[in-house]
Amino acid sequence: MSINRFVLIVTLFLSALCFAERVKDIASIQGVRTNHLVGYGLVVGLDGTGEQTVYTAQAFKTMLNRFGITLPQGLNPKLKNVAAVAVHAELPAFSKPGQTIDITVSSLGDAKSLRGGALLLTPLKGVDGNIYALAQGNLVVGGFGAEGLDGSKVTVNIPTAGRIPNGAIVEREVASSFGDGDHFIFNLHRPDFTTAKTLAKAINDFVGPHTAKPMDATSIKVSAPRDVSHRVAFLSALENVKIEPAEGRSRIIINSRTGTIVVGKNVRLREAAVAHGSLVVTINENQQVSQPNAFSQGQTEVTEQSEAQLIQEEAKMFHFTPGVNLNELVRAVNAVGAAPGDLMAILEALKQAGAIEGELVVI
């Protein structure tokens, strides 16, 4: 079977190899997190690619009022060079006033492009409604578009969204519980009881007994100094401790849209027999021209003649003994020449029969 017929990805982790990871790569400290910020603003200076929406005009008038400029009642400004945008950013943990963060700007209306525009001063708020940063600056837009008079157009990437590196200045610090109490909690990125136990043991071996205690499959409670400076040094040492995370659950993941199949290392098969065959139906369409005799006043007609052919391939059957690993499974599947749909059907049938020791996930 040609490899190009479908993609079969097999993740092989040899049991003889062990991969140690640092604590900082597999866990985070509870309470130390980023915070999402969002705001609403105006982008100006566009080259006729702005918008004429009601809320854009309202925001434009409000901005002018703040500068002491009042437009006549009923006047609708022509805002071809202005666009209403949503501004969002992530505020990292321990960010201090005066530091800068990157922001993303996205059009809210029917503006054609934000290329060449500048964001006016925009407050960024957190979920609590408080202002944590102020954004302003020239946009960097990776996309562009061109349109002809006949309506034809071409667009590369997304011209209605852009970024401003260091485009917001932090104005308020988010309160953190990092220095509170006499302990902190490590939360594993991938919950696993075995990994939690291993991490607690590694910390106890490194610092001393009874320092760390696993709470569940995610959290490990660690006793820590009360002094903040000592706590920072203590964490600096702990986050570089290396452990060997537990292997994940046995899984077979099937992407039915792309034909991609991922088989985990620990997948095993119980004793089973599988028969594989296929039925091919071919239909050929032939056109026949019917020509009338001379002086018969008939008309030339085109008729369709269909020919159907049925091919039944010989069914192939293979047998799995208990404990078959994924290498033998792949060889057996390749030997019978299974197509992506056939292989998925085989795996699903084996799972329904209880012959797969592992989880089958179809996405």
Higher model confidence: residue 58 or residue 172? Answer: 172
* pLDDT at 267 (0 to 100): 72
* pLDDT at 263 (0 to 100): 72
End-to-end CA distance of the chain, in Å?
25
pLDDT above 60 for 16 = no
* pLDDT at 335 (0 to 100): 66
Best CA proximity match to 103, nearest among 50, 55, 43, 46? 43
For the segment 264-284, the average pLDDT, to the nearest whole number, is 62
Which residues are within 8 A (CB) of 30 and not within 5 positions of it... i.e. 6 or more apart? 184, 185, 186, 187, 219
Report pLDDT digits (tens) over 86-129.
999 999 999 999 999 999 999 998 888 899 899 999 999 999 99
Sign of the dihedral through C-alpha 12, 18, 22, 23? positive
- State the DSSP H helix or E strand holding residue 193, giving kind and residue range, or none if neither: helix 193-206
> For residue 11, how many C-alpha atoms fall within 13 Å in the half-sphere facing its CB?
15
pLDDT above 70 for 34 = yes
Cβ neighbours around 167 below 10 Å, total: 25
* pLDDT at 178 (0 to 100): 83
* pLDDT at 235 (0 to 100): 92
Per DSSP, the residues of 113-173 read --TT-EEEEEEEE-TTS-EEEEEEEE-B---EEEE-TTS-EEEES-TTEEEEEEEEEE-SP
Kindly state the DSSP code that residue 237 receives in the 8-state scheme.
H
For the segment 338-347, the average pLDDT, to the nearest whole number, is 65
Best CA proximity match to 41, nearest among 24, 66, 77, 10? 66
* pLDDT at 13 (0 to 100): 35
Which residues are within 8 A (CB) of 205 and not within 5 positions of it... i.e. 6 or more apart? none
* pLDDT at 6 (0 to 100): 37
pLDDT above 70 for 239 = yes
Cβ neighbours around 301 below 10 Å, total: 10
Cβ neighbours around 129 below 10 Å, total: 6
d(CA 109, CA 332): 56
In terms of phi and psi (left: phi > 0; alpha: psi -120 to 50; beta: otherwise), the region of 272 is beta
Kindly state the DSSP code that residue 356 receives in the 8-state scheme.
E
**CA geometry: angle at 312 spanning 307 and 318, to 5°?**
160
Percent over 90 (pLDDT), the chain: 36
Min mean pLDDT across 204-213, 219-228, 264-273 is at 264-273
pLDDT above 90 for 38 = yes
Q: How much is the pTM?
A: 0.67
pLDDT above 80 for 223 = yes
pLDDT above 50 for 15 = no
**Where do the CATH 3.30.1360 domains begin and end in the chain?**
20-31+179-243
For the segment 246-266, the average pLDDT, to the nearest whole number, is 72
- 3-state secondary structure at position 34: coil
Kindly state the DSSP code that residue 347 receives in the 8-state scheme.
H
Report pLDDT digits (tens) over 121-163.
999 999 999 999 999 999 998 876 666 555 556 666 788 899 9
For the segment 233-250, the average pLDDT, to the nearest whole number, is 86
* pLDDT at 3 (0 to 100): 38
Best CA proximity match to 168, nearest among 131, 221, 210? 131
Min mean pLDDT across 128-142, 232-246, 319-333 is at 319-333
For the segment 283-297, the average pLDDT, to the nearest whole number, is 67
**Domain covering 20-31+179-243 assigned CATH 3.40.50 in the classification:** no
d(CA 281, CA 278): 10
CB 14 within 8 A of CB 102: no
Token pair in block for residue 156:
């590369």
pLDDT above 80 for 302 = no
Percent over 70 (pLDDT), the chain: 67
d(CA 256, CA 279): 21
Sheet hosting strand 8-10, strand order edge to edge: 8-10, 260-263, 251-255, 359-362
Name the band, by pLDDT with cuts 50, 70 and 90, for residue 285. low
Name the band, by pLDDT with cuts 50, 70 and 90, for residue 19. low
d(CA 263, CA 253): 7
Min mean pLDDT across 58-67, 281-290, 296-305 is at 281-290
Best CA proximity match to 36, nearest among 87, 98, 106, 84? 87
d(CA 254, CA 102): 37
For the segment 280-301, the average pLDDT, to the nearest whole number, is 66
* pLDDT at 119 (0 to 100): 94
Mean pLDDT estimate for the chain: 78
By CB atoms closer than 10 A (0-12, 13-18, 19+), residue 3 is exposed
- Distances in Å between the alpha carbon of 325 and those of 1, 270, 285, 358? 21, 10, 47, 12
